Chain A
Amino acid sequence: MIGVERDETKLIARPVSMRLGGGMLAFLRKVWAVCAKDLRAELRGREVFSTMTSFSVLAVLTFGLAFDLRVPRSEMIAPGVLWVVILFGGVLGLNRSFGAEVDRGTLPALLLAPVDRSAIYFGKLLANLAFTLATTLVILGVMFFIFDVNMFHPVNVLGVALGILGYVGVGTIFAALTASSRARETMLPILLLPVMVPVFVAGVGLTAGVVDGKTFDDLRQWLGILAAFDLIFVIVAYLLFDLIWEDA
Chain B
Amino acid sequence: MTTALVRCLLGALFIYMGLNKTLHPVEFLKLVRQYDVLHAPFALNLVASALPWFEVFCGMLLVLGVAVRGTAVMLVAMLVPFTVLVFLRALAIQKTGGLPFCAIKFDCGCGAGEVLICRKLAENILLTAISIGLVFWRKTSLCLRHGLL
A and B co-occur in one complex: no
